[in-house]
Chains A and B, each alone.
Chain A
Amino acid sequence: NAGVTQTPKFQVLKTGQSMTLQCAQDMNHEYMSWYRQDPGMGLRLIHYSVGAGITDQGEVPNGYNVSRSTTEDFPLRLLSAAPSQTSVYFCASSRSGTGDPHEQYFGPGTRLTVT
């Protein structure tokens, strides 16, 4: 199993550009989520999904969209990049969703810089 994969590993965008960060998992996990890592802020939840066709907002959803058309994929879209979105983005998945305490598996991260 490849586990949780993320592409790209690095990306530089100009303010106003849009892009999609890809996340895929091959473990048949129902629960997937996106986090961003900022200095002194730990990991902050952007959006999450408890299964195909179901998404919900986390702590910092503004400026990001997600969709979950398949169990395997959970892309994160930046609609109009801003310097405040410069961060490292982690995708994670786990076996089940709400109320089920299974551990999360994290992808390797995408380092995004917005100039």
Chain B
Amino acid sequence: ILNVEQSPQSLHVQEGDSTNFTCSFPSSNFYALHWYRWETAKSPEALFVMTLNGDEKKKGRISATLNTKEGYSYLYIKGSQPEDSATYLCAPLGGKLIFGQGTELSVKP
């Protein structure tokens, strides 16, 4: 079973701040890295699926990078808005999809 670690566990920022979180995972038996956004009382929704070392993906103000050799991925949010408040989950796919505990982001107006 993959050991996935996300940091920090929680983050409180002001509107307009830029922020980033980390997802660390074992680099062996790697197929893909998923990022999901999970708002309270809703279901997780996919943000990115990345497969190649050096991959960079972007969706609006949110972007992610992937380093499969050292086993980490960064998620960046530029100019955070209150609607970005959510838990951000990463999940490396190595046979099955195992999620990290998530980073809970709170953006204050």
Q: Which residues of A contact B (CB under 8 A)?
A: 33, 35, 40-45, 48, 56, 58-59, 90, 98-109
- Docked Cα-Cα span, A106 to B97, in Å, equals 13
Sample 26 A-B pairs with CB under 8 A, ordered by A number.
Answer: A33-B97, A40-B101, A41-B101, A42-B100, A42-B101, A43-B44, A43-B89, A45-B97, A45-B99, A59-B1, A98-B31, A101-B31, A101-B32, A101-B34, A101-B50, A101-B51, A101-B93, A102-B49, A103-B34, A103-B46, A104-B36, A104-B44, A104-B97, A105-B46, A107-B43, A109-B43
The answer to whether B34 touches A104, judged by C-beta atoms less than 8 angstroms apart, is yes
Q: Does B96 contact A (CB under 8 A)?
A: yes
Q: Which of B35-84 contact A (CB under 8 A)?
A: 36, 43-46, 49-51
Residues of A near B99 (CB, < 8 A) are 35, 42-45
Residues of B near A56 (CB, < 8 A) are 96
- Docked Cα-Cα span, A59 to B34, in Å, equals 18
Q: Is the interface of A mostly helix, strand, loop or mixed?
A: loop
Minimum CB–CB distance for B17 against chain A, Å: 24
Residues of B near A100 (CB, < 8 A) are 31
Closest to B43 in A: A106
Q: Which residues of B contact A (CB under 8 A)?
A: 1, 31-32, 34, 36, 43-46, 49-51, 89, 93, 95-102
Residues of A near B32 (CB, < 8 A) are 101
The A/B interface has a contact count, at CB < 8 Å, of 57
- Docked Cα-Cα span, A41 to B42, in Å, equals 17
The answer to whether B44 touches A90, judged by C-beta atoms less than 8 angstroms apart, is yes
Residues of A near B43 (CB, < 8 A) are 90, 106-109
Residues of B near A59 (CB, < 8 A) are 1, 98
Residues of A near B51 (CB, < 8 A) are 101
The answer to whether A98 touches B89, judged by C-beta atoms less than 8 angstroms apart, is no
Minimum CB–CB distance for A48 against chain B, Å: 6
Residues of A near B46 (CB, < 8 A) are 103-105
Minimum CB–CB distance for A41 against chain B, Å: 7
- Docked Cα-Cα span, A107 to B43, in Å, equals 7
The answer to whether B45 touches A48, judged by C-beta atoms less than 8 angstroms apart, is no
Option from B1, B34, B50, B102 in Cβ contact (under 8 Å) with A42: B102
